[in-house]
Copies of this chain bind each other. A is one copy, B any other.
């Protein structure tokens, strides 16, 4: 088994690698709120365990073994988030911290039974896909609202920012997962966007919000 710190590094590298491929020491340090020197120490350890590909000064990527562990942790995180929202009635902006702890509960059988108990959900409360017990999941291609054109419509299916303030704001605006929206206007000046909901309500969102709100077409 791996330590809590090791698991957090693997998960972090996995997330950063989605955009970048190879991940830098400083990226990891920024993401984990730690120092680059601490990261270097840990990278050596993970490389010794054959969980990452690492050559000095060249950044890192996960090995197959490392990716498997990372996906396992993400599976646990998302299943526990689903549990907290669907069974214990937490809001989607309240569950991240708790799931950060719960994702390290080691038993595989526990998580598989939890998955079954909840009916094998495919997405967590933020729209992120939940890997199955073999680590497989298909990630639908989502686009930020900011990448759409006037009159395009789609379904809110994910967020790029998982922070409470952002999620609370979306909730207040009723811009939650599953809602269908149509782009009605794009303001050239500040790149803010006007949306129309199914109930014909019009909502203005800033460029920043439009960047962090993901749509499936």
Give me the interface of A with B, judged by CB distance under 8 Å.
84, 87-90, 97-98, 101-102, 104-107, 110, 113-114, 117
* Alpha-carbon separation in the docked complex, A195 to B142 (Å): 66
Partner of A98, one of B90, B101, B105: B105
A88 touching B105 by the CB < 8 A rule?
A: no
Q: Considering only CB atoms, which chain B residue lies closest to A105 in the complex? A: B101
Q: Which of A98, A104, A107, A117 has the most chain B CB atoms closer than 10 A to its own CB?
A: A107
Query: A106 to chain B: which residues have CB within 8 Å?
Result: 101
Q: Considering only CB atoms, which chain B residue lies closest to A104 in the complex? A: B101
Number of this chain's copies in the assembly equals: 2
Query: A98 to chain B: which residues have CB within 8 Å?
Result: 105, 107, 110
* Alpha-carbon separation in the docked complex, A114 to B98 (Å): 13
Query: A87 to chain B: which residues have CB within 8 Å?
Result: 117
Can you list 7 A-B contacts (CB < 8 A)? A87-B117, A88-B113, A88-B117, A98-B110, A101-B107, A102-B102, A102-B105
Query: A89 to chain B: which residues have CB within 8 Å?
Result: 113
Q: Considering only CB atoms, which chain B residue lies closest to A89 in the complex? A: B113
Q: Considering only CB atoms, which chain B residue lies closest to A112 in the complex? A: B88
**How many whole Å from A72's CB to the nearest CB in chain B?**
15
* Alpha-carbon separation in the docked complex, A88 to B97 (Å): 23
**How many whole Å from A101's CB to the nearest CB in chain B?**
5
Query: A117 to chain B: which residues have CB within 8 Å?
Result: 87-88
Q: Considering only CB atoms, which chain B residue lies closest to A88 in the complex? A: B113
* Alpha-carbon separation in the docked complex, A89 to B107 (Å): 15
